[in-house]
Amino acid sequence: MKMKKGDLIIIVILAVALISWFIINNPGTVENERQIVIETNGDLYKAITMEEGMEQQEFHIELENGKYIDIVVDENGAYVKDVVCPDKVCQKTGLINRVGQSIVCLPNRVVIYIEGQEESEIDGISF
Ligand SMILES: [Zn+2]
């Protein structure tokens, strides 16, 4: 089978279009993957991948001297529900859900932050 140069160009264009379509429509892309990371005393305690429709999880972390911190994590983000903390700045921070945001509890040395790719404009207005 002999092909003309023009046919080859059309095949190449079709192939590129098809590949692009798969890349754009692939739901498995990790572009907007966000992880909620909880650290205590500078060590990783837990990293939870944020997913739509994920079940709410609550982490009760025992701290020194009978203190504790309760952290709630769900598809909307993470927040400190309850804590034994002198200033409660961590609890007052409220919900975090964007990459780069963090909750810091200095007295208890607990840090909660969100890491991942920056959200696109489209995701930002979908709320
Ligand atoms: Zn605190």
Query: Taking a C-beta distance cutoff of 8 angstroms, is the pair 80, 103 a contact?
Result: yes
Domain membership of residue 47 (yes or no) is yes
Domain membership of residue 54 (yes or no) is yes
Domain membership of residue 7 (yes or no) is no
Domain membership of residue 43 (yes or no) is yes
Sheet holding 68-74, edge to edge: 57-62, 68-74, 77-83
- Number of structural domains in the chain: 1
Task: Calculate how far, in angstroms, residue 103's C-alpha sits from the geometric centre of ligand 1.
Answer: 9
Tell me what pLDDT residue 28 has.
54
For the chain, what is the mean pLDDT? 88
More confident residue, 25 or 99: 99
Domain membership of residue 4 (yes or no) is no
pTM metric for this prediction: 0.69
Tell me what pLDDT residue 5 has.
83
Domain membership of residue 15 (yes or no) is no
Tell me what pLDDT residue 26 has.
67
Tell me what pLDDT residue 21 has.
86
pLDDT in tens, 62-90: 998 899 999 999 999 999 999 999 999 99
Domain membership of residue 20 (yes or no) is no
Task: Calculate how far, in angstroms, residue 113's C-alpha sits from the geometric centre of ligand 1.
Answer: 14
Report the alpha-carbon distance of residue 77 to residue 101 in Å, rounded: 10
pLDDT exceeds 70 at position 120: no
Query: Taking a C-beta distance cutoff of 8 angstroms, is the pair 72, 91 a contact?
Result: no
Tell me what pLDDT residue 106 has.
96
CATH number of the domain to which 103 belongs: 2.60.320.10
Task: Calculate how far, in angstroms, residue 116's C-alpha sits from the geometric centre of ligand 1.
Answer: 24
Domain membership of residue 23 (yes or no) is no
Report the alpha-carbon distance of residue 103 to residue 80 in Å, rounded: 8
- Structural domain boundaries, residue 66: 34-124
